[in-house]
Amino acid sequence: MRKRFAPAAGLLLSALLSACAAVTPYQPLHDGYGYSAQLIESNRYRVSFAGSSATPRQTVENYMLYQAAELTLRSGSDYFIIAGGGTQSSGSNAPTLSFGFGGFSFGGHGGVGMGVGTSTGGGQQLQYTASADILVFKGKKPDNNPQAFDAREVKANLEAQIQRPPAAAAAP
């Protein structure tokens, strides 16, 4: 019985550890990760997206732009202008510790193994947060302003890259 349990326990542990390192989905701010927006003035907002260490910088920046586009459209506007902002990183190239265990069976013979590993490099645990102050406007986006974005175009062009959280199971 013990030999059969070890592989299942190893798979369960691997699944739990990989769940901790999942890319942050496009979601409202939850447990420090996701998007947020704050009204600053009648047509000025601060939008941001914070991702886990498994979320690439480009994804974080795209999700922030997508949030800006959604917010612009929800406000009844057509385009937004980025008035300031940027992307910050936090974390470090800290040492990491990993471990695992498992078992096998082959023709009546089997075994169980366990391993521990450490790393002093390449274990970057950087987390990115992108934020911007945006101004929202109605009408046609000015062609001569590189900080102006058509909200419908941004939303349409980024939609395929948006990973949403899994739908919650319906209660019986």
CATH number at 131 reads 3.30.1360
State which residues form the domain around 43.
Answer: 33-90+124-163
Pairing of strands 79-90, 109-119: unpaired
The helix or strand, by DSSP H or E, that contains position 122, with its residue range, turns out to be: none
Residue 26: count other Cβ atoms within 10 Å of its Cβ. Answer: 20
Q: Is residue 151 part of a domain?
A: yes
pLDDT in tens, 123-171: 568 999 999 999 999 999 999 999 999 999 999 999 999 999 988 655 5
Tell me how many domains the chain contains.
1
**pTM metric for this prediction:** 0.71
Quickly count helices (H) and strands (E) in the chain: 3, 7
Q: Is residue 11 part of a domain?
A: no
The helix or strand, by DSSP H or E, that contains position 92, with its residue range, turns out to be: none
The helix or strand, by DSSP H or E, that contains position 154, with its residue range, turns out to be: helix 151-158
pLDDT of amino acid 15: 40
| Whether residue 10 has pLDDT greater than 50 | no
Q: Is residue 84 part of a domain?
A: yes
How many whole angstroms separate alpha carbon 27 and alpha carbon 67?
10
Q: Is residue 105 part of a domain?
A: no
